């Protein structure tokens, strides 16, 4: 069986997502050298397991699930907001921080409430990407540090964007155009590392 690295330009790489926004962002960065597929492209409607207690564990679980079930080279990502004075919460639970009432609004409100009496508002977003090629895993991390604002600002983006201000800017993520956010964001930084890594395999 040919190895991925022997025929890189002819082979497919799956991104274990159906999030079109993330897919387009990564396609743009990868260029035409790879055929990038999402789960819909091979009719995968599985609920991909995400049962681990770390971002690393979840990213790995997702990419190996696809590789083991479909035999396709694959990468998956997992992201969390880590707040220093909350011992790294919400972290791996970022999407479901407000429990049954989870929504971007309720998750943000819970963070603001928990920090209402707290001076240290240092926080960071962290993304871990797990890439599995021919059964071998490599991970890439992207981090952006900043502060949790006292109140929500801005309307672009998603998730915790309105309450996060990166150190590199006076704007919240939700006050920036997407192109600005991608340059400095956790996901943008992790993807850059992935793209650099993959570029070494490009055939002439």
Distance of closest approach, residue 176 Cβ to ligand IMP, in angstroms = 11
List the interface residues with ligand IMP, window 138-157 (CB under 6 A).
157
Minimal CB distance residue for ligand IMP: 159
* CA-closest candidate to residue 62, choices 45, 49, 44: 49
| Closest separation in Å from C-beta 159 to ligand IMP | 2
Q: CA angle, 61 as apex, 27 and 46 as ends, to 5°?
A: 75
- Restricted to residues 86-105, the positions that interact with ligand IMP (CB under 6 A) are 94-95
**Does residue 78 have an active-site annotation?**
yes
Our CB check for ligand IMP shows the closer of 132 and 190 to be 190
Query: Which of these, 180, 144, 182, lies nearest to 164 by C-alpha position?
Result: 144
The C-alpha torsion from 37 through 38 and 41 to 47, rounded to 10°, is: 150
Paired strand residues for 145: 124
**Closest to 190 (Cα-Cα) out of 134, 124, 133:** 124
Identify the active-site residue in 6, 32, 78, 134.
Answer: 78
CB of 161 to ligand IMP, least distance (A): 4
60 with 74: CB under 8 angstroms? no
- The one segment of 60-68, 79-87, 132-140, 189-197 that binds ligand IMP by CB under 6 A: 79-87
- Long-range residue pairs from 21-25, CB within 8 A, at least 24 positions apart, any chain: 22/77, 22/187, 25/182, 25/187, 25/188, 25/191
Residues of this chain, 26-55, that bind ligand IMP according to CB under 6 A? none
From the list 24-32, 34-42, 76-84, 188-196, the region that binds ligand IMP by CB under 6 A is: 76-84
Q: Interface residues with ligand IMP (CB under 6 A)? A: 78-81, 94-95, 125, 157-161, 173, 185, 187
Instruction: Write out the catalytic residue numbers.
Output: 78
């Amino acid at each position: 069986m040919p190895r991925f690295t022997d025929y890189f330009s002819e082979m497919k790489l799956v991104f274990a997502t159906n999030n079109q926004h993330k897919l387009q962002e990564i396609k743009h960065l990868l260029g035409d050298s790879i055929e990038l597929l999402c789960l819909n492209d091979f009719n995968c409607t599985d609920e991909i397991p995400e049962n681990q207690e770390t971002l690393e564990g979840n990213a790995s679980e997702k990419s190996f699930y696809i590789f083991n079930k479909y035999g396709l080279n694959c990468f998956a990502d997992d992201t969390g907001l880590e707040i220093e004075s909350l011992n790294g919460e919400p972290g791996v639970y970022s999407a479901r921080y407000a429990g049954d009432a989870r929504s971007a609004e309720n998750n943000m409100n819970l963070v603001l409430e928990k920090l209402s009496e707290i001076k240290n508002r240092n926080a960071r977003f962290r993304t871990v990407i797990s890439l599995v090629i021919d059964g071998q895993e490599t991970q890439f991390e992207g981090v952006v540090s900043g502060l949790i604002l006292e109140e929500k600002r801005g309307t672009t983006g998603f998730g915790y964007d309105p309450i996060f201000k990166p150190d590199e800017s006076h704007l919240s993520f939700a006050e920036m155009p997407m192109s600005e956010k991608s340059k400095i964001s956790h996901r943008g930084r992790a993807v850059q590392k992935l793209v650099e890594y993959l570029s070494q395999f490009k055939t002439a």
